[in-house]
């Protein structure tokens, strides 16, 4: 059995190694996810223009049964440029809350105004 002084040194070394591992993990973690942000005015006429563009695309994508693939089709149809800018690098996954949708709508508006 180790002497109390050696045990204390061992605990200090173990704590140091654990803290060092946490710091290294923190430093190598990925930066927060970022995407271009666009705003869309809340006035009805702006909302309507974007809704009309998106709704024009829905019939052309209605043959796709998978929800995510259908929404991808609709968004690419509405604006391929906006889709690529906002979604292409990190596409939506099943059960993911789409926090980028308002930015997508704002981007679409900038392309159609």
Over residues 23-46, the pLDDT tens digits come to: 777 666 655 667 888 887 778 888
CB 50 within 8 A of CB 108: yes
pLDDT at 12: 85
Distances (CA, A) of 39 to 15, 42, 43, 66, 68: 47, 9, 12, 29, 23
pLDDT at 26: 66
DSSP 26: H
φ, ψ (nearest 5 deg) of residue 107: -65, -45
Average pLDDT over the chain, rounded to whole? 87
Q: What distance in Å separates the CA atoms of residue 36 and residue 52, rounded to the nearest whole number? A: 23
Give 66's pLDDT tier (boundaries 50, 70, 90). Answer: very high
Q: What distance in Å separates the CA atoms of residue 109 and residue 22, rounded to the nearest whole number? A: 44
**pLDDT of 102 higher than 60:** yes
CB 82 within 8 A of CB 111: yes
The more confidently predicted of residues 3 and 111 is: 111
Give 11's pLDDT tier (boundaries 50, 70, 90). Answer: confident
């Amino acid at each position: 059995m180790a002497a109390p002084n050696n045990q204390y040194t061992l605990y200090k070394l173990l704590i140091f190694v654990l803290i060092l591992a946490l710091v290294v993990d923190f430093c190598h973690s990925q930066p927060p996810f970022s995407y271009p942000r666009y705003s869309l005015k809340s006035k009805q006429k702006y909302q309507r223009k974007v809704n009309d563009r998106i709704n024009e695309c829905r019939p052309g994508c209605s043959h796709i049964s998978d929800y995510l693939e259908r929404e991808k089709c609709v968004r690419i149809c509405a604006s391929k440029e906006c889709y690529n800018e906002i979604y292409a690098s990190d596409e939506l996954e099943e059960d993911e809350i789409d926090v980028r949708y308002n930015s997508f709508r704002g981007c679409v508006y900038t392309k159609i105004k």
